[in-house]
Amino acid sequence: MHIPKGDTAELTLVTFEEALAAANTPNPDYDIEKWIYAPNFYSEYRYILGTRGKNPLICVGINPSTAEPGNLDNTLKSVERIALGNGFDSFIMFNVYAQRATNPDAMEKQMNPLLHKENLAAFRYVLSISSKPAIWAAWGAIIEKRGYLAQCVRDMAEVGMEYDASWYCAGAVTKKGHPHHPLYLRKDEKLKTFDVASYLECV
């Protein structure tokens, strides 16, 4: 379990640029040739966690939990399985909001603008890895937990347009149109196009 110790505004954040530099530096705890992990230590927030490749599937959940390189939780195991099963050579787990919390109900009530800014910097980076980035919307109805989360997705959608990114979902959407969470999907689940612009008009 990870319960936030307090609001992220109380922290001195590592910028994504700093976190990326550290993630590309040899680390005794894991193989940086296989994993990308920023920040490269367990903390109250996480920008990205994934495997390295030329054609990653970028999965977007709501917020990070306890996963680390070599210690994936069930959500990340499902993400990796779906990515490889759909022809991608790697995966990157990204999140609408970077605060780490096992229970989304424990997320901070107000968005930290600085954390969101650095999270968007991380998003730009993961989009830049591919010539045609593929984003898997996978946040489920949890997006309703905090009012600021939908705005975070809107900002991400704008960034995605700059990189000509394609959006996908997997499994059935909810009655309100929220894309399915990665858990409880079939092992051979195929991605399908997700109209993020139309979705954002309704949330």
Mean pLDDT of each 10-residue bin along the chain, 203 residues long: 94 97 97 98 97 97 95 95 97 98 95 98 96 96 96 98 98 95 92 97 91
Q: Is the pTM of this model over 0.75?
A: yes
Question: CA dihedral defined by 47, 53, 54, 58, rounded to 10 degrees?
Answer: -40
Tokens of 117: 């800014």
Dihedral over Cα of 176, 181, 183, 188: its sign = positive
pLDDT of residue 187: 87
Any residues with CB less than 8 A from the CB of 149 and at least 6 apart, and which? 62, 96, 97, 139, 143
Q: What letter represents residue 145's amino acid?
A: K
